[in-house]
Amino acid sequence: MFKNFFNFIFELIKIVVISVVIIVPIRYFLIQPFYVKGASMEPTFYDHEYLIIDEISYRFNDPRRGDVIVFRYPRDPQEYFIKRVIGLPGEKIQIKEGGVYIYNKENPAGFPLEEKYLLADLKTHSSTNEIVSLDKDEYFVLGDNRNSSKDSRIFGAVERNFLIGRVLWRGWPFSRAGFINSAEYSY
C-alpha cells in the first residue's frame, strides 16, 4: 500500500516538474497573457478582452508601423500599456488637421497616415502642429480611440527597451478570438 502511495507521489512530482520546466520558459520568454483594461484601443480591443503577446519577435525584428504592442509605461514601469506603433525611429510625427503626418527619409515632405481601422468619431481631433522627432530606438504610439487614450501625445516617445511584445492573438471573448494582424498603410 505504501509502495503504491509513494509511486503516485513520485509520478505527481514528475508531472509538476516537467510542467514547470515547459511552462515557465514559454511564459517568461516566448508568450505572455495580457488583459485589456480601458477603452483606449476601441474598436480594435475592448475592455476585458484577453490577449496573448508574442515576446520573441522583437528580439530578432524591429517593430513595424501598425503593430499593436504592449509596453511598460515610461513613467511607471510597473504598469503595462497597449497601443499601436505609429512613428518609427528617426522619423518625425506631426498631428494636424485631425490626422497624423509622418516625415522620414523616403518622404521628407511628409504624408498623412491613412488609418482605416479608426472610426470617424475616434480619430485625433486636437491639432498641436508640434513636430515630434524620434531618436534611434524610439517609437511614437497612439491608441485607436484617440479621445480616450493616454499615449505618446502625453508621455512622449517609448524607448525600445520598454517594449514587451506585439499582440499575437485574442483569446477572449470567443466570438472575437483569432490572430491579430498589423495595420497596413499606403503611402
Q: Residues 22-66: pLDDT tens digits?
A: 666 555 555 566 666 776 777 777 788 888 788 888 888 899 998
Q: What percent of the chain has pLDDT over 90?
A: 12
Task: Give start and end residues of each alpha helix (H) in 26-114.
Answer: 57-60
From residue 35, give the alpha-carbon distance in Å to each of 32, 117, 129, 140, 183.
10, 21, 34, 22, 21
Whether 40 is catalytic: yes
Tens-digit pLDDT profile for residues 66-81: 899 988 888 888 888 8
Mean pLDDT of the chain: 79
Which of 3, 19, 37, 83 is an active site residue? Answer: 83
Q: Kindly tell me if the per-residue pLDDT of 91 is higher than 70.
A: yes
Whether 126 is catalytic: no
- The residues near 129 (Cβ < 8 Å, ≥ 6 apart) are 94, 95, 96
Which whole number is the average pLDDT over 8-30? Answer: 68
- Residue 187 is predicted with a pLDDT of 61
Length of the chain: 187
Which whole number is the average pLDDT over 96-106? Answer: 83
From residue 77, give the alpha-carbon distance in Å to each of 67, 99, 163.
21, 29, 11
User: Per the structure block, which three cell numbers stand in for 35?
Assistant: 488583459
Interior CA angle at 36 toward 82 and 159, to 5°?
15
- Residue 127 is predicted with a pLDDT of 59
Q: Kindly tell me if the per-residue pLDDT of 138 is higher than 90.
A: yes
For residue 137, name the pLDDT band (cuts at 50, 70, 90): very high
Element (H, E) at 166: strand 163-172
Q: Kindly tell me if the per-residue pLDDT of 157 is higher than 80.
A: yes
User: Distance (Å, rounded) from C-alpha 29 to C-alpha 54?
Assistant: 9
Which of 3, 14, 37, 40 is an active site residue? Answer: 40
Q: Name the residue with higher pLDDT: 159 or 111.
A: 159
Q: What percent of the chain has pLDDT over 70?
A: 80
